[in-house]
A and B are shown apart, each in its own frame.
Chain A
Amino acid sequence: MSGLLFAGATLPDGTLSDILVRDGFVERIGSDLKADGCEVIDVGGLRVLPGLVDLHTHLREPGFEASETVLTGTQAAAAGGFTTVFAMANTSPVADNAGVVEQVLGRGIDSGYATVQPIGAVTVGLGGAELADLGSMATSRARVRVFSDDGKCVHDPLLMRRALEYVSTFGGVVAQHAQEPRLTSGSQMNEGAVSARLGLTGWPAVAEEAIIARDVLLAEYTNSRLHVCHLSTAGSVEIVRSAKAKGIKVTAEVTPHHLLLTDETASEYDARFKVNPPLRTNADVMALRQALADGTIDIVATDHAPHPSEHKECEWNDAAFGMVGLETALSIVQLAMVETGLLDWVGIARVMSHQPAVIGGVDDAAGVLAEGRIADLVFIDATSRSTLTTDDLAGKSINSPYLGMELPGRVVHTVRHGYFTQRDGVIVSADVVSRATRDYDNSHTGAGTEVTDG
């Protein structure tokens, strides 16, 4: 099989280097590489990062194919430079058993645009009443390690305790959507001056912080791993910071939108800005950026949440929560973190690739740019600036809050397992990608897809 020689890339640390990719793996990283029979791609002026890993994606399949499918969602991932996505469990049927997670896994393998790692539900049907088949999902072909009722909070403290304890059996982690349901009944947006002015029911910060505070205590008590989804408040940052200082095994994520947007965006009742947890205040945004910079928050995760237009072009109260984010995540993080001097590109590789892979338990197969590792790579032009249009959104839905905004950075090439999923800013066609992923699988019999647990 012929290889690809990427010539003149800028590595995360700023050094210039060539990268030779062969048989799906990074064979060499070095200067003036020569390889016979390889296609040479000039990537001078482009930055290379390990393929991005999203721990929090809603692919909507099965059940909500009008919003997104595994195929279109992973195309959106490829557009945004992601090579691995964790698929949230709130599908229909809910991914609360081995059958559904294996179905989602299979769809991902068929698509080939990104590695799709299913997340399992914590409770049956996200009902919050009884534990889902956690063990059988963990030992299924999908090898589930992350469990989440995301969209809903595991609010029953006893269930949360049991889930934390139980998943530690197989090195799993519970990813909590922290939202006290009674404190957020009917909530529409952040509770504050803007909600008071607009007459929209508030979603108070304390409803998130109260659950996180409880959960870190439970994690400490049970000596289990907790992952907190989409932190949105300065108070949550403080709780995670003090928990980490005490050695509690907690990790946390922040979304790109919570690093940039505030509740003022609701002023025009444009439901593209309706999201859960809600956009908060500028003080919260600043605290989240600082926390991501200093490591209190471990990773960025998109919470990519596609919705058809009729669920957004309606009254705010009736509109769905969520925004698409895969395509724009890197640009937003560049804007919020790199251009503010809070993170360098090594830091970006850490929070958007390596650490998500570690937390999700796939760091053996993703999140590292090094010789001998799988060739999941993204090449970006960080100097580009362009105005976001719906043409830039590769998924099925266009509910992006950034449409019309000028954003920095542009993903030029996305390479997964040694083949292009996006080349020169264009998504590679589905049959080409599908053939490439089959070729890869045939030459690496079953690697990464078979059950390896004993």
Chain B
Amino acid sequence: MTARTVLQATDIQRALTRISHEILEANRGAADLVILGVPTRGVFLAHRIADIIASIEPGTIVPVGSLDVTMYRDDLLDQPTRASSATDVPVAIDGSTVVLVDDVLYSGRTVRAALDAVTDLGRPKSVRLAVLVDRGHRELPIRADYVGKNLPTSHAERINVHLVETDGTDLIEIAGESE
């Protein structure tokens, strides 16, 4: 089992900055934006993006929250019981542009669950998806609007995302059988 680093701290910072710019560009500013992270690491990434947006457009405050999708998953009966996390959405999302943030996009099932969770919260004007890493292997017709880095992987490999907030360091590595 080996692990090789694919993104350093500066790469992550650069990717998030670019994503923030892209969000602002697509939304034509920060109006009506709500950024919701999927726990655990998506929430910290959401906060970073909101901070970057605030620094790009001084004076704007973008609402940030967390959106737990555990109860919406389609694999609850097949896995060991999943612990849920907090859902904390600071504003009503009706009519807003919701940007969902997660660390890794893989099968698309988490995003599917997140879309259902958003629907139960209200009726946003649009929902966008931002991910730090897209590793491919989609099982559902879902794609990200904002991608930090595309990383082609095999099923046998694992993407490990380390963030300062949870792991003390910013780092992304691929782990798996080296062939």
A contacts B directly in the complex (CB < 8 Å)? Answer: no
User: What is A's interface to B at a CB cutoff of 8 Å?
Assistant: none
